[in-house]
A and B are shown apart, each in its own frame.
Chain A
Amino acid sequence: MEAPPVTVMPVTGGTINMMEYLLQGSVLDQSLDSLLHRLRGLCDNMEPESFADHETVYLLKGQQGNPFLLRARRSLAHPTAPWHLRYLGQPEVGDKSRHALVRNCVDVAASHSLPDFLNEMGFRMDHEFVARGHVFRKGALKVVVSKLFRVLVPGNTENTEPLSLSYLVELSVLAPAGQDTVSEDMRGFAEQLKPLVHLEKIDPKRHM
């Protein structure tokens, strides 16, 4: 079969070019309760939602360039729920005036055959972890307070140990590209959480 030409846009559905705006921080275990208390007061009036997710990170190595990274997440609390596959792009370099880290983001809900399928595509598992914590919402803002656990035996989510003595706090918004005003809202919200937690724009590349 002849090599078919590469195309520009085969997209039939889906929402293109969504950006994730992100601020991160952490709190020690002992100050978790006061942070949760504060969040309950600040966020939309809803039942606090807890979660326990198992995330597996897959890599696809090509001949050139960076490996392609995908994150597959499944809920341990709701085993019948679909899997969540996430692509995160490189953080946008750019003006310092933006208050949050901005990167391309694609969220896909997928059936349970996802691990097999990624394997067939050539992806290999890089690492995995379990995240347990709470989700809060305020309008479009999403706050996730979670503790990360190391998986001791690959694939066995029963057997885990905490990665550290603190909780990861992430404040994020999904918005179409170019809506930089959301980062203002995020800064405002992060301001209100001080001094319980300092949410900052953290470039993951610097920590690699």
Chain B
Amino acid sequence: MADVMNVGVNLEAFSQAINAIQALRSSVTRVFDSLKDGMKNKETLEGREKVFTTEFQDNLQAVNRDLNELERLSNLVGRPSESHPLHNSGLLSLDPVQDKTPLYSQLLQAYKWSNKLQYHAGLASSLLNQQSLKRSANQMGASAKRRPKVQPSTLVLPPQYVDDVITRIGRMFPDMTIELFRPNGTSAVLLVTLGKVLKAIVVMRSLFIDRTIVRAFNENLYAEDGKLDIWSKSNHQVFQKVTDHATTALLHYQLPQMPDVVVRSFMTWLRSYIKLFQTPCQRCGRYLQDGLPPTWRDFRTLEAFHDSCRQ
């Protein structure tokens, strides 16, 4: 916590700068005061004008002087460090009323806790990898051996890296276009257009997929305020069902150490919907069941099944 206090802020200069701001404000007030009062009663008209002009000039010079002083001080103050591990939330420690709002200490605890969780989860995952489990075990085993722990394992990844991974995945599938948006800060939102079949909105938290929603190709993607609508569900039952399955897929494809593999596997799986309306169910051989086409895609073989026809 101690190093938070001296994040390159010159406290002496700070208090001087505050004084300078006060001085500037009062000199500006004086300008307007004198303008407001106008020309005061003097014997002659010239006399009045002369006094008024000199007074006005003096006031403006005072403003100028104070402004220069403030600019000089502001250079001394220095910038708060941007490389703090907690980003701007680190500034919470500057809040003097610690007792009332213990936000900062809680934040630190949460951060430590989440780091620890990440670490333990990593250990557990590497242990589990040695066992051949049924769920998505084969993918894990193979790729984990090739590139052991090269990816940074924290939640914070540079946006540039995320961009790269997404562009590379986008290039793998010609019938799929991926657009990347950053509507709020660094977290990315992907708009995936699959042929003329569907559009999916994928909300990312660095490289982890947080949430996804699938809508029809011709459905509205933007809310009334012109922003990407990441909440409302599709009007069509098919795509509500596909959204449910996609959420299941997010839970299935999990590999904390190699988030890019997860995104790639998810996209490969999502791409199998390109023939959503053209493929009959692999079990019952029909297109429709309860009015819906086969909406389920097997995680391994990508075969199409009706929701009730899968095992």
| A–B proximity contact (CB within 8 A) | no
List the interface of chain B (C-beta within 8 A of A): none
List the interface of chain A (C-beta within 8 A of B): none
